Amino acid sequence: MLSDFDSPKPAETMTTAAVEVTVPDDVSDSQPVAPAIPPSSPVPATPAPTPSHTLIPPAKTRPTLPSAPGFITLLGDTLNDAFFYRSEYSNPTGHYGGDWSRDNIGQTAEGADLDVRRHPSRSGPYTGGEMKTLKTYGYGRYEVVMRPAKGSGLVSSFFTYTGAYEGNPHDEIDIEFLGLDTSRIHFNYFRNGKTGESATFDLPFDAAEADHLYAFEWAPEGITWYVDGEPYYKTVEGDAYLPTTPGSVIFNAWTGKPFMSAWHGKPTFESGAAAHYSCVSFSPMGEETRACSDLFLPRRPSTSHALTAQLSQQPTP
């Protein structure tokens, strides 16, 4: 069981601002909706150019994970092949309904468009778009500004992942949208291939109509998911399914093999439907770094230490 939050109030209109993108120089090879308590009020942002996110300071006795440094990337400025891998490979097994193709990743001044096309491939009758970091990341805050693709059969995701291909157990933390109904958001997580308590929430908007900020904060004590700076969901203390292995940051747009239709809907989407990603960032636990929320939220969100303390548990309907 997980602890849930009150249904957050509709988010304020977001604004964007230009910022110099900082990318590390070195590169390695490589469902239920239920209310509980109101979120804390955000703290007004200051105009200072210093980083504005301070995650829970790690105590000496708290577990740590290896992690690459924090980063922020504005995808309208660069797709940066020295930092992100634009996937180009087949998916003959598993749930994806086609190959990943670099041709399905386009760039505009506003960000990256990852589209899904009705195009025969080695893995099925479709192709999708995916980008992933070359480095891996541990405890900290992960943020994305995005608009999911709309249309039955489509899935738009932002997540961390590691697995057998990297010689690791399957650990994962997800934010997902189904194009069948983009007014809902889905959260999930895995440890060693076993999923924890997934959750689905109704949003006060259609996510496919405008950019919004989505995030999750991963700490040794648990994971908290956010929408436009407001906490939506948190794992309970002692959850046995919390991931423990650093993973790549991945975002993609895809449709699945026929057996996936019961979940994401029949693939009746228009070919070329795209998920749009404007900003991706990671702030390591206990460090202050620039983040997407500094640019896309009018007010600074509070840290999870205040937001998630002593949450009540409520039965789901």
Residues with active-site annotation:
172, 176
Backbone angles phi, psi at 208, to 5 degrees: -80, -10
What is the token pair recorded at 75? 């995808």
Query: Could you tell me the sign of the dihedral formed by the alpha carbons of 9, 10, 15, 19, in that order?
Result: positive
3-state secondary structure the chain: CCEECCCCCCCCCCCCCCCCCECCCCCCCCCCCCCCCCCCCCECCCCCCCCCEECCCCCCCCCCCCCCCCEEEECCCCCCCCCEEECCECCCCCCECEEECHHHEEEECCEEEEEEECCCECCECEEEEEEEECCCECCEEEEEEEECCCCCCCEEEEEEEECHHHCCCCEEEEEEEECCCCCEEEEEEEECCEECCCEEEECCCCHHHCCEEEEEEEECCEEEEEECCEEEEECCCCCCCCCCCCEEEEEEEECECHHHHHHHCCCCCCCCEEEEEEEEEEEECCCEECCHHHHHCCCECCCHHHHCCCCCCCCCC
The candidate with the shortest Cα–Cα distance to 95, out of 250, 254, 247, 243, is 254
Q: Which residue has the tokens 């895995």?
A: 190
Pairwise CA distance, residues 232 & 227, whole Å: 7
